[in-house]
Amino acid sequence: MDFQSVFFRPDWKSILRRITETTRNALEFAASFRGNCRPYGISFRLQTAVYHMRTQTSDLVAIDRPLRWDHPLDPEMLTRDLQWMLDQPPFSQMNPDVFPSHSSLEGVLRHDCRILRYEPGDIVIREGDYGGSGYLVLRGSVRAFLEALWQPRGKPSDPNHSSTWTEWLKQRFKPSSIAPATFPESNRREGSRDGSQTAAADKKRPIPLQQVETVDGKSRIFLQDINAIIDGFQSEPLGVGEIFGEMAAITRSQHRYTVVANTPTIVLEIRWQGLRILRRDKTFRDHLDARFRETSLQTHLRETPLLRFLDDASMADVIAQTSIQSVGEREWFSEYRDTQKLDVQTQIAREPLIATEGHAVKDLILIRAGFARLSFEQGRGHQTIAYLGRGHIFGLAELSHRFRNPSDKPLPYQESLRALGFVDILRIPSELVLTQILPKIRNSELPKPIANPRYDAGGLVVSNTLPQSRLGNVQSAEESLANLETSLLEFLVDERLVNGKQTMIIDLDRCTGCDECVKACASTHDGTPRFVRNGPEFGPLLFAHACMHCADPVCMIGCPTGAIARDQDTGVISINSQTCIGCKTCADSCPYSNILMIQVHDEKGRAVVDRRTQLPILQASKCDMCHELKTGPSCQNACPHQALVRIDTSETKALANWLNKRVG
């Protein structure tokens, strides 16, 4: 080997690497001008080229696989505080042996809890906000307001609400203010039959003003003149050892009441993941369940518009005699996946029956949470008439008929009610309804008498006709029920699309497949679209595989870190990429396959792998309604043909309105 060959032999590998590096840098420089431009254009091609070059030329990034407690709820928790908590009831009374070694009681308190301190008047939870934690009073006391402190806004919180650019501009120039909490029901319990008493009472009542103050860099929201508000509104004191807010966390729903600190108070926030583990202790679980039943029953009955004319004595009577019942499994997705493979009639036959057509009406049924199928026997199958959700009442038409015609024989249930997955119901005994409730309701608010019953006391009268009034058997709290084509209703129920609050529907009569929606989504989310333009179809309607931000988000149940969570104000469910450990629980739980697992890349585009196993690190990815954009979901904004909409399919009214508009 001579001198020249050693020192002047071209190192092709090195030259090639240099050329590649230089080109990559040039491309990166060019791509940096991308700004907010959409992908799939020249800039996107540049980015893709950069990505490919990075993955070909760079090494993988090895990290330790993220673990469940990498991100504690309170990273600054002191050991002294932890020890103090362990000495407080109910933790001091718990048996530490019931907790597995990887989820010890101490571990739960250290990682899933945080100590919060409140001054008198501070708002701990607000009615209408979505909750993901339970709160335990450790010191001091709080007040839970059984009445609504604020009147609901015109419309429930809706991420699309300010989607137009004019509204966006208005928001930009308007001075910032705290939005009042929103309420799931538009009707509230009034003080008297005509509402006059309420109006008069309202005049005397103090107006609960929310104020914001920043102390030591932390902002607090509090009510001005808390003592006057406690005097003016019905509230219940909660003292040391009592838990609140757990109902919303367990049912993944909105808080039904506002809680305000009454004295200087210390509250322990326990996030849902910790609460689940703490439930392993039998005493704690029983206490939680009993409290859940008691609170939810009372709150729901007080919020039911039908009962708003009851005086306090009658209401107490109704509360005492009403029973709460949970039908079906809370984690219904696994069973649904199994039954989905069966034929429709078998699926329906497997749905737990809440009430059976032709059977005597023993109770008035109020739906507290979940969804139920309203159907009647048709030939050898069951025809769906509607689906009922929170706030709907079943059996009122029959009881109303009996109330109006006391001499007639009582009519049995005209339709059947079946649980779709999981349903919480309240049962008010019929006699109580007839004696205490119906006499106090305006005639105009009662359903019309059933002229041609499908069933009477003797059994089936007419076998092959639709019930006289399709929705006559249902009283809706929000008049959210609208007639939809039966086959569409059945499709929505069978596919469980009734769970969707932001269902993505693509009108195939307008969609040209231009993929602008997918491109806009990808561009908003670092080049990875968060939905698939594919999914179940009904006629010209395509229900795309995009997160529906469900009314009952079962994906949240099993998340060990709380990475998948619901935004308190908007109800949008999103995944925190900082705390997601890629366990795939949410993706497996989603009954609609709307959560995808994607490989993690670092900021330089290099694939991240587990240091120990060299396997790729995955993270859950799903639609987040582009919550960082002021203008709403970019998919909807980007559709040039008005083919893509996000609709609340949990109530038929919104869908019916859109379908009517669509037909013109």
Partner 1 sequence: MDSRLQPQARSLHAFASLNSRDLRRLFPVVTVLLAWLILKSMRSQSAASLQNEAFVTGYSLASICVLLMLLGVRKRVLSPQIGRLAIWQQTHHYLGLLSVGVYALHANVITSGWLESALALSFWSIAITGFVSWYVNHTAPKLLRAAGSQILRQDIPVRSRLVAKQAHELALASAGKNDTAALADHYRVHVSSYFTTRRNWIYRISPSGGKRRRLLAGLENIDRYLSAEGRAQRREMSLLVQSRDDLDFQSAIQNRIRLWASAHSWVLGTFLVLTIAHVILAHQFTSSW
Query: What residue type is assigned to position 332 of the chain?
Result: W
Handedness of CA 482, 484, 490, 495 (dihedral sign): negative
Q: Which of 24, 6, 9, 15 is nearest to 606 (CA)?
A: 24
Quote the least distance from Cβ 541 to partner 1, whole Å. 11
Closest CA to 223 of 126, 121, 142: 121
User: Closest separation between CB of residue 600 and partner 1, Å?
Assistant: 24
Q: Between 164 and 346, whose beta carbon lies closer to partner 1?
A: 164
* Cβ neighbours of 120 (radius 10 Å): 19
Nearer to partner 1, 634 or 650 (CB): 634
Which lies closer to partner 1 via its Cβ, residue 164 or residue 263? 164
**Cα 335 from Cα 262, distance rounded (Å):** 45
Q: Are strands 265-271 and 113-118 parallel, antiparallel or unpaired?
A: antiparallel
**In the bound complex, what is the minimum distance in angstroms from residue 629's beta carbon to partner 1?**
6
Q: How far is the CB of 387 from partner 1 (least distance, A)?
A: 25
State in angstroms the smallest separation of the CB of 40 from partner 1. 10
Nearer CB in complex with partner 1: 17/641: 641
Residue 535 and residue 594: Cα distance in Å, rounded?
10
Is 100 or 640 the residue whose CB approaches partner 1 more closely? Answer: 640
Q: Which is nearer to partner 1, 41 or 241 (CB)?
A: 41
Kindly state the smallest distance separating residue 182's Cβ from partner 1, in Å. Answer: 25
- Strand, helix or coil at 138? strand
CA distance 565 to 249: 10
* Smallest gap from residue 630 Cβ to partner 1 (A): 7
Q: Write down the least CB distance from residue 174 to partner 1, Å.
A: 16
Cα distance between residue 458 and residue 412, in whole Å: 9
CB-wise, 334 or 593, nearer to partner 1?
A: 593
Determine how β-strand 113-118 pairs with β-strand 123-125: unpaired
Residue 103 or residue 523: which is nearer to partner 1 going by CB? 523
Q: Which is nearer to partner 1, 442 or 661 (CB)?
A: 661
Q: Yes or no: say if 54 and 48 are a contact pair by the CB < 8 Å rule.
A: no
Cβ distance to partner 1 smaller for residue 350 or 641: 641
3-state secondary structure of 62: strand
Instruction: State in angstroms the smallest separation of the CB of 574 from partner 1.
Output: 18
- Two tokens at 662? 């669509």
Of 439 and 513, CB closest to partner 1: 513
In angstroms, the first-to-last Cα distance of the chain is 86
Q: How far apart are CA 650 and CA 367, in angstroms?
A: 14
How far, CA to CA in Å, does 502 sit from each of 19, 260, 586? 48, 31, 18
Looking at the Cβ atoms of 8 and 33, the one nearer to partner 1 is 33
Nearer to partner 1, 564 or 626 (CB): 626
**Cα–Cα distance, 302 to 144 (Å, whole number):** 14
User: Which CB, 108 or 520, lies closer to partner 1?
Assistant: 520
Q: How far is the CB of 661 from partner 1 (least distance, A)?
A: 8
**Nearest CA-CA partner of 656 in 410, 458, 470:** 470
Name the token pair of 357.
């057509």
Three-state SS at 123: strand
Q: What pairing do the DSSP bridges indicate for beta strands 142-145 and 235-238?
A: antiparallel
The CB-of-104 to partner 1 minimum distance in angstroms stands at 46
Q: Where are the alpha helices (DSSP H) in 69-176?
A: 79-87, 105-111, 165-173
Q: Which residues contact 298 (CB under 8 A, 6 or more apart)?
A: 146, 319
Which alpha helices (DSSP H) does 95-194 contain, by range?
105-111, 165-173
Least distance (Å) between residue 43 CB and partner 1? 9
Give the nearest distance from C-beta 508 to partner 1 in angstroms: 5
Read out DSSP for 526-567? Answer: TT--SSBS---EETTEEE-BS----SS-GGGTS-SS--EEE-
CB of 166 to partner 1, least distance (A): 9
In the complex with partner 1, which residue's Cβ is closer, 185 or 516?
516
Alpha carbon distance 122, 213 (integer Å): 10
431 forms bridges with which residues in the sheet? none
Q: What are phi and psi of 359, to 5 degrees?
A: -90, 150
User: Residue 91 gets which letter from DSSP?
Assistant: G
* Pairing assessment for the beta strands 265-271 and 133-139 based on DSSP bridges: antiparallel
- Choice between 41 and 439, CB closer to partner 1: 41
CB of 31 to partner 1, least distance (A): 14
What minimum distance in Å lies between the beta carbon of 492 and partner 1? 18
Q: Would you mind telling me the total number of residues written for the chain in this entry?
A: 664
**Tokens describing residue 451:** 């002229």
Residues that bind partner 1 (CB under 8 A): 36-38, 41, 164-165, 168, 508-516, 520, 523-524, 533-534, 537, 540, 542, 629-631, 634, 636-643, 664
CA gap 257, 235 in Å, rounded:
10
Does residue 475 contact residue 439 with C-beta atoms inside 8 Å? no
